[in-house]
Structure 1
């Protein structure tokens, strides 16, 4: 079986235009479940994050600073592999069907290159994930698409918890001078999350250790 070195994982995700993550985990729900193999299920979600031109009140503790009316938003497309917890993030200027299709294609290609082609993708019922463009991406990668139950966001709980971690440990963890600086800090932080950070639900291991084709993890 052809192995993939751990250093190659960062390059694969970077080449795909994606990023990855870390943090102290939010608690797992009582009805926790886990698919048996990498690629069995990929959880996908979106988080809107305000752009800014100066540090805001979350870090300055005053609303007199960091006011950036009209700065707009970044849209964080997030994908989490159910079994390994490997995470990927794409920063987009909108949440249109084209942006969603682009992220889905990049994430699915990255998983394929890591030796874990995705069998199922789980999203909410948003139009960007159910559009003709998105359906074409699922078909191209021979991936089935499932949607969460209405008004039951915990169905996609792994993505939700990852977003909590993302906000707490990256977006709001430092005093960034502007949104571009914040975004530049994403990739190295996510690399640490996937390749080094101990994960409570993985018995203290990092997500990368659950990828069978990563060199040193072959079975």
Structure 2
């Protein structure tokens, strides 16, 4: 496609060339009519004689030969340093004694100019995956949030007032105290389930992360997805004690689900749910001032509905997750 400031489009070039070649106009006269130089008019006329209409199309401005292009050997050194040591253009340029701009150009050409495209542990390019239909695989995990004292926590009301609120709540509820951390309010364990294909999420707030609790969440999540026309085939979890238990494996078998585990110390494999936890924290847990744990817990179902039905998800083309559940009853009515 012609650039924004081009004097001639392919159609205008054809008209110019036809005036010169077919109708006998000289280059100077035709050039004035189209407000271009005589040299430009002659160029398009020559291409029209040689190639016809096909010659009027745009051509790449890339030169046929690039004698100053970075050699293959240097390119490999740049890529190796980027992958293995995660160095930036300036550091790589210092080691190889070449300009940093050259290094940056090579990284862009190899599509590794952003460190987010490279795995932190192995240094290899990140390999992303997505199952092809809802229910093919779900991810499960647990994230933790501290309970909120009456009147609000320190994140919103400040350290001094937050400590006073916590002490007052502990005195009212009789919650245990810690020798080093002062009064404790306990922890909310949020068990989360997310469908790999659609990113539709299910979550429950529980008081622990034992195998029995995790199994109960899985059973209820399976029924929840079934009500939406999704049959769970596989479940991917980390190597937490609840998911390594025999009871978890047996519960998956009873539900007709294949249980899978991530590699140890590789949370990237379960990256979809790890990223959901960050969204959960930003959008729900720390989104505003909650004056009690109960108030925050009450807000979770409403936020989950917003996430599933209304929030645009960048990984699925800016659409809400529920739009990928194509087998929803009445979805196409």
The TM-score with structure 2 as length reference comes to 0.55
Any idea what SS the aligned residue of 1:66 has?
helix
Larger radius of gyration: 2
- In the other structure, the counterpart of 1:177 is 291
1:64 Cα offset (Å): 0.8
From 138, 150, 156, give the equivalent of 1:59.
156
Matched, 1:44 2:140: yes
- In the other structure, the counterpart of 1:109 is 223
CA contact (8 A) 1:39 1:116 kept: yes
- In the other structure, the counterpart of 2:313 is 199
Any idea what SS the aligned residue of 1:65 has?
helix
Higher RCO (C-alpha under 8 Å, 6+ residues apart): 1
CA-atom RMSD in angstroms: 1.9
Any idea what SS the aligned residue of 2:162 has?
coil
Instruction: Tell me: CA distance 1:135–1:28, structure 2 relative to 1, closer, same or farther (3 Å).
Output: farther
- In the other structure, the counterpart of 1:141 is 255
Matched, 1:214 2:325: no
Matched, 1:31 2:132: no
- Alpha-carbon distance in structure 2 between the residues aligned to 1:28 and 1:176: 37
1:28 Cα offset (Å): 9.1
5+ residue gaps, structure 1, are: 1-26
Matched, 1:127 2:241: yes
- Bigger proportion of residues as helix: 2
Alpha-carbon displacement from aligned partner over 1:153-209 (angstroms, at most 9, x marks no partner): 111000000000000111001100011100100101110110111111111211111
> Runs in 1 of length 4+ with deviation above 4 angstroms?
27-30
Aligned residues: 192
- Alpha-carbon distance in structure 1 between the residues aligned to 2:329 and 2:227: 13
Any idea what SS the aligned residue of 1:31 has?
coil
1:216 Cα offset (Å): 5.0
1:66 Cα offset (Å): 2.2
1:111 Cα offset (Å): 1.6
- Alpha-carbon distance in structure 2 between the residues aligned to 1:217 and 1:183: 30
Alpha-carbon displacement from aligned partner over 1:76-102 (angstroms, at most 9, x marks no partner): 001110000000101000111111110
